[in-house]
Amino acid sequence: MKNKDNILNASLANEFSQKYLAYALSTITHRALPDVRDGLKPVHRRLLYAMYLLNLGSKLQPKKSARVVGDVIGKFHPHGDQSVYDALVRLAQDFSIRYPLVNGQGNFGNIDGDNAAAMRYTEAKLTEISELLLENIDEETVDFKSTYDGDLQEPLVFPAKFPNLLANGASGIAVGMATSIPPHNIVEICEALKIVNHDKNVSIKELLKVLPGPDFPTGGMLNNNKSEILRAYTSGKGFFELRSSYKIEDLGRGQYQISINEIPYQVSKSTLIEKIADLIISKKNKLIDNVIDESDQLVRIVIRPKNRNVKPEVLMESLFRQTDLQVRIPLNMNVLNSKLQPKVMSIKEVLLNFLVHRYEVLVRKSEFRLKNIKNRIEILIGFIKVYHNLDKIIKIIRNAEDPKLQLIKKFKFTQNQVNAILDMRLRNLRKLEEKEIKQEYKDLLSEKNFLTKLLSSKSLQKKEIDNEIDFLIKKFKDDPLLGKRRTQLAKFGSVDEETFDNEIKSDDPLTITILKNGFVKSQKSFVKNLEEQIGNENNSLLIHARSNDKIILVSNFGKFYTIEADNILTGSSTGRPISSYLSLTDNEKIVDSFRFDSEDEIFIYTKSGYGFITLGKNLETNKKTGKKVMNVKGDDVVIGVSKAVKDSDSIAIICDVDGKNKMLAFNINELPKLDKGRGVILVKGKSLKVINATTFNSKSVIKDQADKTLFDKSTIENNYAKRAQSGKIIKNYKNQIMNRNFENNIRCHL
């Protein structure tokens, strides 16, 4: 509501939410998501339509890219010229798009990631494939809308004789949603379209027999099994695992080298080679001696092994794990339907929507042609009258004051007929021949009858769509570049994990130190007499490990993190912040750490006295943000962990209650074994704080980290009870840390 000063009084929150919603919807429908019918986003559609209006056909001369971009941003797409040019460049790159829609002349970038030349230097025109998308666009086959300034009209969608969405794929990020559709083989798409055209109830499993998976422009090998692909194509969501194909080249005398001729989709070759070189220089891959780029127009990366004893399959497995020679391509078939509503579709829904669109185009094209035929037949009937009354008509045209009115009155011509006659020059009227007119009339009448039948017959329409699909199959099937499948569907050969670890990973001794200031460092040796570090003011934890070990770090917030031991910086006296390896939140800190073993049983406990036992395998994670295992509430925090060794049958808890130390021991079987959770209460008492806990054998004593007896049998027996009791006061305890049962692992402070 506006006041007298014409100022709008409104809630800022409401205005923000409404404007942001409008922006979000705009990015979804007008920028990020492709239309299921033609597979294009607005910027791509406007680019191709502008080139069509510039008469840049595939068989004609190209024009400067700057001219195309200028027309696009001036007439249709009021955005930055560079973003429009980038979109144009991508449509011309045969390594980015399976079936290029733009024929680029000049430097349009390369697979190394080099940028295209400036738009003033490059030229562009349409390809035959983009002409298929535009075919019949001037025949009222699709709806148009006004451009942003209202001066011109632009198509809402293309007629799309070519199934572009699946053939070229799409990717985009909108507000709150995204799309990622990999490219497919056009011949396989067409075979699937024919099946769906005749049986709308066909199963996706049947479709996979002719459309088995994506086909990427850069080739490679697909690792997914049929059930994974079926699940992805059915739900519209999933992923495809793609890796480079390679050859082993025999050099004689037991020597060999590996040549990589195809790299995964959207991977930069130069960045990939830099990564491999970095692995060699940093000695993170001890199997490779050298990497050489021998590429010209074709990709050829040569890998030289350290020696003849290196197994080629193990060498490649190491590269697949350490570089982008193996990638995951996501599938998220989130597209706009014919009502411009976003929807995640299955592969069959995408095919059906394309066919529905083609049927609509066929009907509208036929109606347009039928209308023109009727107009032409009407004119031809008039021409026959002209032929039989030529001299009289010429005389009227020459002498009459209003020849149009006279011709209609005397010969009963219609408005269309008389307009066509008067639009012709007199010498052309004299050239009219009855035979030619009647032949054209006969041909048009035959076509009219066919179109009339076509519009009333679903079976004839189905046959026409079949003919369109057959045309595409015939056009592309024998084309070695466009028709032949490039991505091979082959399950990768697997390398035994133990063999791989033995071959690839070094087994060097390390001492990992977590410092009190939140840094972590590593040195390439075992520090002797770790127990001497107990009480060290600078250190928090010290662990003996091997370079092929994984290290688990425990945070006070109940999250567990995993670091590869050989990834920790060595040779530095100060180390590196733990935050450079992990994503810790505010006030989160590492309280304990140990070497990972999936079979270990780990006892986790908190300051307020909760705990449980879990398996080591539940603690491992590849996420930098860690894995939440212990649920802590309020001000409670995790303060430590202990390993439950084979003969551990009991739990010992030491807590502080109003400045007095109490101890409680109980049977380990009273603790639950959980994957994650809060666990159960270990010890009860008002204002208690657990300060230390461990697992032990009740028939033995409890030792400290220096292997000295901390609690003898009589003390243990005196404090042994049921879980969740208050415990008894113990004397002469000076915050010594009980043995946590981790080998060569010292915690310096509580």
* CA–CA dist 96, 115 (Å, integer): 13
CB pairs under 8 A, 24+ apart, for 463-467? 464/362, 465/197, 465/355, 465/358, 465/359, 465/362, 466/194, 466/197
- Do residues 221 and 487 touch, judged by C-beta distance below 8 A? yes
* Geometric angle at alpha carbon 403, from 402 and 405, rounded to 5°: 70
Find all residues with CB under 8 Å of 554, minimum gap 6, and list them: 560, 590, 591, 592, 593, 604, 638, 640, 641
Q: In what order do the strands lie in the sheet with 660-667?
A: 688-696, 650-657, 660-667, 728-729
* CA–CA dist 576, 581 (Å, integer): 9
The one catalytic residue in 20, 49, 85, 121 is 121
* CA–CA dist 655, 688 (Å, integer): 6
Find all residues with CB under 8 Å of 330, minimum gap 6, and list them: 180, 238, 239
- Do residues 337 and 36 touch, judged by C-beta distance below 8 A? yes
The residue with tokens 């670091």 is 563
Sign of CA dihedral 704, 710, 715, 719: negative
Distances (CA, A) of 418 to 132, 363, 373, 387, 619: 37, 31, 17, 14, 89
Distances (CA, A) of 542 to 138, 578, 592, 723: 76, 14, 10, 32
Three-class SS state of 559: strand
Distances (CA, A) of 354 to 101, 469, 534: 18, 12, 71
Q: Calculate Rg over the CA atoms of the chain.
A: 38
**Encoded tokens for 41:** 């986003």
The amino acid at residue 118 is: A
With both helix axes pointing from N to C terminus, report the angle between 415-423 and 403-411 in degrees, rounded to the nearest 10: 130
Which of 240, 303, 295, 304 minimizes the C-alpha distance to 269?
295
Q: According to the 3-state scheme, what is the secondary structure of 316-380? A: HHHHHHHCCCEEEEEEECEEECCCCCEEECCHHHHHHHHHHHHHHHHHHHHHHHHHHHHHHHHHH
* CA–CA dist 103, 483 (Å, integer): 18
* CA–CA dist 75, 150 (Å, integer): 10
The distance in angstroms from the start CA to the end CA of the chain is 64
Sign of CA dihedral 110, 116, 121, 125: positive
Q: Is 121 a catalytic residue?
A: yes
Strands 550-555 and 559-564: antiparallel
Q: What is the maximal distance between C-alpha atoms in the chain?
A: 137
* CA–CA dist 221, 13 (Å, integer): 51
The count of other CB atoms within 10 Å of the CB of residue 532 is: 12
* CA–CA dist 713, 489 (Å, integer): 66
The amino acid at residue 250 is: D
- Do residues 191 and 473 touch, judged by C-beta distance below 8 A? yes
- For the annotated catalytic residues, the residue numbers are 121
